[in-house]
Amino acid sequence: MVMRYLGRRLLQIVPVLVGISLVVFLLVRLIPGDPARAMLGTRATPELIARLHSQFGLDKPIWVQYLDFLGSVLHGDFGISFFYQTSIGGLVLARIPLTVALLAYAALMSIILALPLALLAAFRRGGVLDQGIRLLFTGSLGLPAFWLGLLLALILGVNLGLFPVSGAGSGVLDGLWHLTLPAFTIALSITPIIGRSLRSSLIDVLRSDFVTTGRAAGLSRRTITLTYVLRNSLVPAVTVLSVNVGWLIGGTVIVEQVFALPGLGSLLVTSITTRDYTIIQAVTLILALFVVLVNLATDLVYVALDPRVVLR
Amino acid sequence: MAVLSVTRSRRVGRGITRLFTLPGWERRVGLAGVLVVALLATAAPLLTAYDPTVLDLPHALQPPSLAHPFGTDPFGRDIFSRVLYGARIDLQIGLIGVAIPLVCGTAIGLVSGFYGGWIDGIIGRIIDVVVAFPFLVLVIAIVAMLGPGLVSFYIAVSLVSWVAYARIIRGEVLSARGREYVLAARMLGYSDARIMFRHLLPNVVPAVFVFAMSDIVLDILTGASLGFFGLGVQSPTPEWGVMIAEGRDFITTAWWMVAFPGLAIIVVGLFFSLVGDGLADVIRRIDAR
């Protein structure tokens, strides 16, 4: 049953993957003028331009170029970076662990921040506490992550000296310590989005029959919350995180830049100044694939978290 | 026909007054706030004596004072007037960045939901692909290809965020397609275009306006992030993200350079979010009736 479901889900993903590869392939077509000339900038000589043309197959028909692109992507071969003079595949691969760690850390923190607030608001629905929490969420929707990061770095990092403000550190513990402030920044900036959705899903959870039954059976509010509501709020929490994984990634791109972390996001941004268009393509592709993977994994996690989920 | 257009313009007028008179403080506070910000941006030259781009080196890096309520930057430029003039740019980013995708996405969603079939199939697949990309990453990638600047930003945002509008409208059209008023219009022999734009559109569009309010906030944040990265509006033009980037290296000595433009983004974001929440509330109440 699970295998058949997994198979069908994987088949559904294929057209999306093809579409993603097509979008990423077409990205470089947006460069005004000759991409080879744009890539080389002031270094452009007729020989170099001709070499790039043949390297990227720019002299072939566009569908051949796409198939070539697809072929090399499937082999994980993105060519050589002009700026870094190493293989782009290796460069990107080396940056993945930090970004994934930051994403996971930030996701965990945002749930820790948002879940209690959303639970409180849902319990006191319509009351003063609910109104206050909702206003807090609404008021922080426009919180710019780069601004927040700079201020947190100033206050918690520079003034109080609690956390390092740049670099990734070395080793697991030191690395986590270095990622704490960046992850906190992302978590704070995404908490309003996650908290608002969680609040409305939790209101539905609190309306469920099992809560009414528990109350009727004379269970204390504490027992109902801790043993039933909390467990049942995990599914909405995972859903909300999975739906918003794109925002989390956006936050990572910004925060990596603010805290000088060598992840995929800072690679993306610095590659713009170095005109490494292929790196931009590779990072965009990897991050889109990551979203697809997370959404797939979420569907599978439902089954583990909630035995009532019916596979179709 | 004349009678029809009079009643319509009256209805629009009543709709706009209702935005203020209907109960619900969120929407009213939000709208008032947005209007005040727009007014401040328009009246900027009257409100400040300082030109936002003229250098005044003797008064560099002054902390907030009566003469410079938000302080000055290393070039002696008045931060208060830069924040005020910045509102012009950032409001424009929010409005244009939403208007184009709203119109395109709504039209595409209408056609997709109304006709269904292969058109809907293709549009649905395109939407699936675009939403797989993290919004900011795809916008940055497109701007990187087109070259930095506001025009590139608008193109990028339009290419990416129409899908959100198309998705919402498509869903609304699918549930409205079988309603009596649509069937009645069909039986009267009205053209598809007339049914879509005169009958369906007014009924499905409110949901899009609620989303547009949060999208304005998102666009201003994205525009400011790009400005911060040096990919959007270029210095010395006062834009809040650019200003925060300019203040970055002075954050330990001149916190006001970073603090005030950021607060401006938060305040504007709050007002638009309040309008969105309030509108959602109104729609919920109308639907419940």
CB contacts under 8 A, A 26-55 vs B, are 27-28, 30-32
- Confidence band for B152, pLDDT divided at 50, 70 and 90: very high
How far apart (Å, rounded) are the C-alpha atoms in residues B59 and B112?
59
Residue contact A141–B270, C-beta within 8 A = yes
pLDDT at B9 over 70: no
How far apart (Å, rounded) are the C-alpha atoms in residues A272 and B6?
54
pTM, rounded to two decimals = 0.91
A-to-B residue pairs, Cβ atoms closer than 8 angstroms: 148
Contact A260, A270 (CB under 8 A): no
Nearest to A106 by CA among A193, A7, A197, A46: A193
- Confidence band for B2, pLDDT divided at 50, 70 and 90: very low
B34 vs A contacts (CB less than 8 Å)? none
A280 vs B contacts (CB less than 8 Å)? 141, 144-145
pLDDT, tens digit, for every residue of B198-224?
A: 999 988 888 899 999 999 999 999 999
Tell me the sheet residues that pair with A80: A87
User: What pLDDT score was predicted for residue B1?
Assistant: 41
Whether chain B has a CB inside 8 Å of the CB on A271: the answer is yes
pLDDT at B12 over 70: no
B50-62 burial: b if 16+ Cβ within 10 Å, else e: bebeeebeebeeb
User: What pLDDT score was predicted for residue B13?
Assistant: 64
Token digits for B214? 């949060």
DSSP code per residue over A98-164: HHHHHHHHHHHHHHHHHHHHHHHHHHTTTSHHHHHHHHHHHHTTT--HHHHHHHHIIIIIIIS--S-
Domains of chain B listed by start with CATH number: 85-288 (1.10.3720.10)
Q: Could you tell me what percent of chain B has a pLDDT over 90?
A: 72
pLDDT, tens digit, for every residue of B182-205?
A: 999 999 999 999 999 999 998 888
Which among B29, B128, B129 is the top mutation candidate for probing chain A, defined by the most A β-carbons within 10 Å of its own β-carbon?
B129
Token digits for A38? 């744009």
Token digits for B27? 């929407």
Whole-number Cα distances in Å, A218 to A71, A211, A212, B16:
64, 11, 10, 51
Q: Which residues contact A300 (CB under 8 A, 6 or more apart)?
A: A6
Tell me the sheet residues that pair with B78: B72
pLDDT, tens digit, for every residue of B39-86?
A: 999 999 999 888 898 888 998 889 999 989 999 999 999 999 999 999
Contact B148, B231 (CB under 8 A): yes
Amino acid occupying residue A61: P
Whether chain B has a CB inside 8 Å of the CB on A139: the answer is yes
How far apart (Å, rounded) are the C-alpha atoms in residues A28 and B206?
37
Residue contact A20–B132, C-beta within 8 A = yes
Whether chain B has a CB inside 8 Å of the CB on A102: the answer is no
Number of helical (H) and strand (E) elements in chain B, helices listed first? 12, 0
- Confidence band for B16, pLDDT divided at 50, 70 and 90: low
Positions of chain A with pLDDT lower than 70, given as ranges: 1, 306-312
B217 vs A contacts (CB less than 8 Å)? 141-142
Q: Which residue of A has its CA nearest to B269?
A: A142
Amino acid occupying residue B63: P
Whether chain B has a CB inside 8 Å of the CB on A283: the answer is yes
pLDDT at B130 over 90: yes
Token digits for A13? 């993903």
Residue contact A142–B251, C-beta within 8 A = no
How far apart (Å, rounded) are the C-alpha atoms in residues A297 and A308?
18
Nearest to B260 by CA among B73, B51, B115, B74: B73
pLDDT at B282 over 80: yes
B259 vs A contacts (CB less than 8 Å)? 151
Tell me the sheet residues that pair with A87: A80
User: What ipTM does the predicted assembly reach?
Assistant: 0.91
CB contacts under 8 A, A 241-270 vs B, are 245-247, 249-250, 253-254, 257, 268-269
User: What pLDDT score was predicted for residue B3?
Assistant: 46
Q: Could you tell me what percent of chain B has a pLDDT over 70?
A: 94
Residue contact B225–A246, C-beta within 8 A = no
Whole-number Cα distances in Å, A193 to A113, A136, A200, B211:
12, 11, 12, 13
A147 vs B contacts (CB less than 8 Å)? 244, 258, 261-262, 265
Q: Which residues contact B77 (CB under 8 A, 6 or more apart)?
A: B50, B52, B53, B54, B55, B56, B236
